[in-house]
Structure 1
Amino acid sequence: MVTEQFKNSALSFAGCDGGNPKSDVWFCGLEWGGEQRNELDKPIQENEIYSWSHEDFDGAWLAQYNRKICWFLWYFHNLEWNNGENGGVFVKRYNILHSQLENGIGFKMNMFPIGFPNRNNVDWNETLQTLTGLNSFNEYRQWCVTHRGEFFRNAVQKFQPKVIVCTGIGEVNNFMQFFTGNTEYETQVTEKFKFYHSKFKNTLICVVPFFGGAGGINSYAKMESLVTHIKALLNS
């Protein structure tokens, strides 16, 4: 049986970098990377969502994935980013991933609340089984897609983002189930990559290649192309 401690954590904004959920653009990854922590984050409510303005996130934009978030928002909102300008200046100028109270731009979350180094190094050990009440990683993943997905679909209906950009096309079915409640979607093929899209209420859900890596969105040209195609879908 799933523990109340895990339910309270998973059915909250735990596992999210944060930002402003009232933003037009949300970003969703799988889970936090780094070392596996055999503990649960405390529940995070709407008024406690993290902000890049907090000292714990100082320099967060330097991570390659987060740089790509900055690129996306730059193209999507036609923001000013002077040639050679430090990314930290850009982040502070536009309050990138800052809180709702700070009129931040962008919101960043994860489909799953527990961090793992990567999918090849998941150790679903006795501690995690006890903390969650779930016997395997697959059981945990399915529970989150179903129940955490419902929590975030309610959040989507409340905050009405224009688009949610999910990174990792290998998880397209889980992302779509999480954000739309089903696995129906269309495929968009561009010159350099493909991505998938669907709608939930008034929000466009896009599952795109990972931000970075050899086969991902790893150049300004690819990012500009992605934003152009997403804007076309929003205007269609």
Structure 2
Amino acid sequence: METGPTSHFDQFGFANKDEIFYSTLAGCDGGNINAKVWTFGLEWSGNKDSLTQWQYKYYKKNLNERNEIMIPYRDEECFTLQSKVVNDYLLKNQFDNLLANFTYGLTLINTDDKKIEDTHNFIKKTLYGKESQIFKLNLFPLPLPEHTFHFTEYFDILGIQLSKKEYLQKCKDNRFPLFRKLIDKYTPNVIICFGIGEESKKFFMECLAISKENASSPKKFNVTTPDYDAPREFIKLEYQTPSTQKIPVYILPFLTTRFRTGWKNEVARKFAAWGHSQGWELS
């Protein structure tokens, strides 16, 4: 069963006053849940207009014998229903352009001198599509503006007044366990988390139930690109499923666009090539 195109606001019932809303993939880009590479961010960069105006489609998957979940994805048709302002933002924002190059690089064994001929077309048709090389989750459902965050702006669409502390706790109690159930069921080859800052690292590890004792010290990686403008460290962890399967987890520094640093497109493709050397097999 599929639905959409429609917004996350309409699909996921933001007016719920209970925990149902926090047990959905609201605020996630989704894509191909069977992809071998899963990516985690913190939340969308934007405001409540992102929830009401960005268009997605949705397909249903069984979470377990009793529960189903709707998986968001985006294709070219979604862009035909949005305003030019929204499309310009989604096609030109640095995060999706870099992630598109990273995703494209995952399809290549050797990325030297190879680039996407039309990045915007790739974003429209492939990046968060049902056949994408990645599946994209965000830890938190509400978009965070680039410079300031006034949580009160969400009171009207949430249908209830929450403190930021209460909001975070609802995510930890409901959304984080949901993500772990999805990982346990679909067992990706690797999980990549974007954001190596201390707060980001804390949230990623809490979501994946990884203790501080099991975190590696930051490691260096080599990037032979002169215009590289981001930290050269990453953290490697392991997520263990109930069946004792160990899934490598990388916390990476790239795409830190809020701080005006990050990767260039060539570096994104090269990092995907580095992923091949780490054994991120896609088949």
Query: Which amino acid counterpart does residue 162 of structure 1 have in structure 2?
Result: N
Q: Deviations over 1:88-133 (max 9, x none)?
A: 444577x33212xxx3332122110111213x42212286399476
Q: 1:224 to 1:153 in 2, by over 3 A?
A: same
% identical aligned pairs: 23
The 8 Å contact of residues 39 and 131 in structure 1, kept in 2 or not, is answered as no
After TM superposition, the structure 1 stretch with the greater mean CA deviation from structure 2, 211-220 or 123-132, is: 123-132
The question of 1:35 aligning with 2:47 is answered yes
Query: Which amino acid counterpart does residue 166 of structure 2 have in structure 1?
Result: E
Query: Which amino acid counterpart does residue 196 of structure 2 have in structure 1?
Result: I
Q: 1:204 to 1:127 in 2, by over 3 A?
A: same
The question of 1:78 aligning with 2:108 is answered yes
Pick the structure with greater CA Rg. 2
Aligned equivalents of 1:84, 1:69: Cα separation in 2: 12
Tell me how many residue pairs correspond in the alignment: 225
The question of 1:216 aligning with 2:248 is answered no
Which residue of 233, 236, 248 corresponds with 1:204?
248
Q: Deviations over 1:42-87 (max 9, x none)?
A: xx77454232215334654432211111211222221799657112
SS in 2 for 1:56: helix
Which residue of 185, 204, 215 corresponds with 2:215?
185
Q: Which runs of 5+ in 1 are unaligned?
A: none
Q: 1:218 to 1:143 in 2, by over 3 A?
A: farther
The 8 Å contact of residues 239 and 247 in structure 2, kept in 1 or not, is answered as yes
Q: 1:173 to 1:164 in 2, by over 3 A?
A: same
The 8 Å contact of residues 68 and 212 in structure 1, kept in 2 or not, is answered as no
Aligned equivalents of 2:51, 2:266: Cα separation in 1: 38
Aligned equivalents of 2:203, 2:129: Cα separation in 1: 28
Q: 1:115 to 1:159 in 2, by over 3 A?
A: same
Q: 1:134 to 1:231 in 2, by over 3 A?
A: farther
Aligned equivalents of 1:226, 1:39: Cα separation in 2: 31
1:156 offset after TM fit, Å? 0.7
Query: Which amino acid counterpart does residue 50 of structure 1 have in structure 2?
Result: P
Q: 1:212 to 1:168 in 2, by over 3 A?
A: closer
1:4 offset after TM fit, Å? 5.6
The question of 1:116 aligning with 2:144 is answered yes
Q: 1:5 to 1:50 in 2, by over 3 A?
A: same
After TM superposition, the structure 1 stretch with the greater mean CA deviation from structure 2, 147-156 or 52-61, is: 52-61
Superposition TM-score, scaled by structure 2 size: 0.65
Note the aligned Cα RMSD (angstroms). Answer: 3.5
The 8 Å contact of residues 16 and 158 in structure 2, kept in 1 or not, is answered as no
For residue 72 of structure 2, what is the aligned residue in structure 1? 50
Aligned equivalents of 1:34, 1:68: Cα separation in 2: 18
Which residue of 159, 181, 197 corresponds with 1:154?
181
